Amino acid sequence: MDKIPFDPYDFFAYLSAGLVILAGIYLTFGFPPVFGPDMPAIKGLLVIGVVYVLGQMNAWPAGALFEDWLVFRILGRPEEVLLGQHKTSPWAALFPYYYQPLNEAAIKRLDARIAGEMAAGKPLRGPALFVHVRFHPDTLGNEKLMARLSVFLNKYGFCRNVSFAALSVGVLMLAVVWLVGPTRPNLVWYGLASFAAGVGLFYRYLFFFRQYSFEMFNVYAGGTAKQKAAKRKPSKGKASAAAG
């Protein structure tokens, strides 16, 4: 094989989350006995496969709970928050950065450009706005922007999946201690540390999730390089009048 069969999203979003789950189960119950000083190559490959499967299994509830329910239905979608549609949300005190909208000038430029491109001339909002900007030819054709969006995708995917895994492991450990008592030394502290890490990563998830749309909307609102050049370049009529 000429390359590793995992892309960055596989590593950041799946393998890391799966490793957290496997380590959490081991620290709670002492099995499976996969962590130790010696690990044969075949056993190591098997562990990687198990970790990857656990990460894939973790991704569905992480996306369903964090994005489909918590963000989209309760906190507000990033494309709505950025346009100031959730300024009075009671959650703004807990997540102040997430609720910072675009500046008014950028919102006006964004709406003006969309109104000029839409037949009805009415600014888009919500998922329709996101789809319009994300799959606009200017967005798809901007290699630098697409590279940055790919980085944000990997980062928020990692933070979301590992946050959910860490919170799940923390809840499992604390529930076991509460129901049957500590099954392993320092299990309470492991549970609290895992839960705290999950909360911290959730904040980072919201940061990168918002930044994805923030970056995309700002570039789109600024127009293409051709449009900017046309604004800076005087027309031939004006140039002739100035020369006369």
The pLDDT tens digits for 206-216 are: 999 999 999 99
Range of the structural domain that residue 167 is part of:
22-219
Q: For residue 240, what pLDDT is reported?
A: 45
Residue 64: pLDDT over 90: yes
- Burial of residue 137 (CB within 10 Å: 0-12, 13-18, 19+) is exposed
- What's the pTM value of the predicted model, to 2 decimals? 0.83
Query: How many other CB atoms sit within 10 Å of the CB of residue 97?
Result: 11
Give the CA angle between residues 109, 230, 239 to the nearest 5°. 130
Eight-state DSSP code of residue 191: H
Does 139 reside within a domain?
Answer: yes
As for how many domains the chain has, the answer is 1
Does 63 reside within a domain?
Answer: yes
Query: How many other CB atoms sit within 10 Å of the CB of residue 209?
Result: 24
Q: How far is residue 75's CA from residue 81's CA, in Å, rounded to a whole number?
A: 9
State the average pLDDT over residues 222-241.
51
* Percentage, residues of the chain above pLDDT 90: 57
Based on its alpha-carbon atoms, the radius of gyration of the chain, rounded to whole angstroms, reads 24
Does 66 reside within a domain?
Answer: yes
Average pLDDT, the chain: 84
Does 232 reside within a domain?
Answer: no
The amino acid that residue 215 corresponds to is: E
Does 54 reside within a domain?
Answer: yes
Q: For residue 122, what pLDDT is reported?
A: 65
pLDDT tens for each residue of 134-159? 999 999 999 999 999 999 998 999 99
